[in-house]
Chain A
Amino acid sequence: MSLVFAGICSHAPGITGRAERADPELREGLYSNFNKMRLAIEATKPDALVVIGAEHFANFFMDNMPAFCMGMAENYYGPIEDENWLNIKRHKIPGNPELSEQLITMIMEDIDLAYAQEWKFDHGIMVPLNFLTPDYQLDIIPVNINCQGPPLTPLHRAWKFGQALRKACDKIPERIAVVGTGGISHWPATPDSGKINEQWDRDFLEKWKNNNAEALLSYKDEDVYQDGGQGGFEIRTFISVAGACEGNTGEIWFYAPIPIYAVGCTIGSMNLSKS
């Protein structure tokens, strides 16, 4: 088994860009759990970290929007946003094109997957990397699921992508860590920024923790939009990780609504004891 770590985390730009405006106790709780995730990933000695993200029109636009895309570059760059706005310095981030090509080739047997040899990371990947690989030494393989430009990638396809990723990882000797990053309920970059549906979030996380495919795939976009806002569409990234870990259950290490970060901040992992 080459999938050595699987987790989920938030990526809201406020986590770094408006860091000081949050309740210090909540911020410390979030940051310490990001650090716990960093240590957990490092302990598995991965050869690469696959980040399943939901980018926000940094690389993909409605002129050619893939349902799924995986990076196949030697290097990536980020953040694409203003460094001061995000409070993350611009970095060159190592990729692994040979490993990417192997994974993409195998995943394509099951999923129509686009690939990209250029990719500028936005906050959706840079905020997690800022905490999880702060020295930018680990090879990163980015994945994007269209959570922004409708028609969106169906939830059951996000699950299938996770399954296909796992199947591919199982066929190679490299040790792969995967992190899905997105929001649960949030209304980002709108006048309602800061609104969080905590009960809806906790209900979703319970289903994720139990890896209940039927429950996770029963969400309808119109209900997600109403109850979880625009940002709720990013549950696709968490569902992909659950699909990659089918048969295993997980733990939520941290969950707290932090309105100035505009999301219920979340850190969790799947137990990979069952292959």
Chain B
Amino acid sequence: MSLYYVQKLIYNLNRDPDLVFKFQEDMTGVLAQYELTTAEMDAIRKPDIGLLYVSGVNGQLLMHYAALREYEWDDYIQAMKDGLKKYGNVKAGYYSRTGGGAV
């Protein structure tokens, strides 16, 4: 997974309302501007928040993409938990589960 470009797209969406508009009008066209695999495009398009999380998308980016796709906070947390069950542990980056602390 070209994690860098998945995160770069989300970073740009967070910063640029015009890009959000284009993304909502022509998602395929915007995705084509980034070096993404078909699986990555599918995960972003669907969106499969759980897969994006497990793939290593930094939570500080992912939570805003989830909000953009109209996930409420609790649904966003649940989507990541579902992703862990379906796809296994986080494969890259710092946003894996580390244990420690207490809820």
Contacts and interface: CB of A to CB of B under 8 A. Distances in A.
Partners in one complex: yes
Interface of A: 17-18, 56-59, 61-63, 80-82, 85, 120, 148, 150, 185, 187-198, 200, 225-230, 259
A81 B64 contact: yes
Contact of A58 (B4, B15, B58, B59): B15
A66 to B, nearest CB: 15
B11 A148 contact: no
Instruction: Tell me whether chain B's interface is mostly helix, strand or loop, or mixed.
Output: helix
Instruction: Tell me whether chain A's interface is mostly helix, strand or loop, or mixed.
Output: loop
A225 B98 contact: yes
Closest 8 A-B residue pairs measured CB to CB? A189-B59, A56-B60, A195-B101, A197-B101, A189-B63, A191-B80, A191-B81, A61-B11
Interface of B: 4, 7-8, 11, 14-15, 53, 58-64, 67-68, 73, 77, 80-81, 84, 94-103
B60 A188 contact: yes
A189 B62 contact: yes
B100 A80 contact: no
Contacts of A150: 94
B101 A187 contact: yes
A85 B98 CA distance: 27
Contacts of A195: 100-103
Contacts of B95: 189-190, 230
Contacts of B94: 150, 225, 230
B60 A189 contact: yes
Given A58-B14, A191-B77, A230-B95, A185 B101 contact: yes
